[in-house]
Amino acid sequence: MEDEVPPPPPAGSGNRLGTPPPIIPSSPSPLRASCPAKYAAVLELFDTEVKGGLWKSAVDTWLTLEHATGFQTVGKALPAGGCPGAVSWWVQRGRNTTRIPAGINSEDEHEDFYQAVVLWWLNVNPVWRKEGVKSAEDFEVHGLIQCSGGNLDGLPSGLNGLTSVLACLAWWYRVAGNTEGEPRWKKLVEDCTWVLSEKNRAFTHKRGAPDSLENPTSKRVRAE
């Protein structure tokens, strides 16, 4: 099935207006307590040495989606093309380690890993989000299109889905040190959080959302 192409932005609206606020649980603690063992191990990784409000928002939004969709341990996976080798290393160990994967920890390996993570994110996203963005450098400058209500079915939740992207971002933070001011990391965390938020909205809609969530705006924006 071809990607759904959202409508063009309304006249005068532009397409680089910033990032809509993510859906974040009012209290993530009960959700953490309900995690099955495999997800608790992932949360331990996400909580290891990674700090800051931006990351907390991403993890809380991810946890809300995983709870809503039943903490899937099998099912659809992200496309493997271009997937950083660190993900395979992690999966082979049952996703049950907080260690930094082999092959990304030395200083001369950092940049290759950063590039691989960004390029994989571009590869797994639908065509409609990537208008004019063909490289990691393009992503850093322009970001991806954010259109509430757009088709994000190719970005599944679950351990085989977006969880792996967050794992890459956690490792990136740790090998780079203080990344809250690192534009590439920040932009990718914000964009991933937007995707998780939109998937939360879509899932809520399917279950019978209130009117305020049933009619998402079609405005196209880019994260800056």
Do 101 and 90 contact (CB within 8 A), yes or no?
A: yes
pTM of the model: 0.82
Looking at every residue in the chain, the average pLDDT score rounds to 83
Reported confidence tier of residue 4, pLDDT bands at 50, 70, 90: very low
Nearest to 172 by CA among 101, 94, 91: 101
Sign of the torsion angle spanned by Cα atoms 66, 69, 70, 71: negative
102-123 average pLDDT score = 93
Better pLDDT: 133 or 223? 133
Residue 40: its H or E element: helix 37-47
Measure the CA–CA gap between 140 and 124, rounded to whole angstroms.
17
Q: What is the dihedral of CA 166, 50, 35, 32, to 10 degrees?
A: -130
Phi, psi angles (nearest 5°) of residue 222:
-120, 140
- Mean pLDDT in residue range 38-65: 95
What distance in Å separates the CA atoms of residue 205 and residue 130, rounded to the nearest whole number?
25
pLDDT value at 9 more than 60 = no
**Integer-rounded Cα radius of gyration of the chain:** 17
In this predicted structure, the answer to whether residue 105 has a pLDDT above a threshold of 80 is yes
Predicted confidence (pLDDT) at residue 45 exceeds the cutoff of 60: yes
Altogether, the residues listed in the chain come to a count of 224
Which pLDDT tens digit goes with each residue over 205-214?
Answer: 777 644 443 3
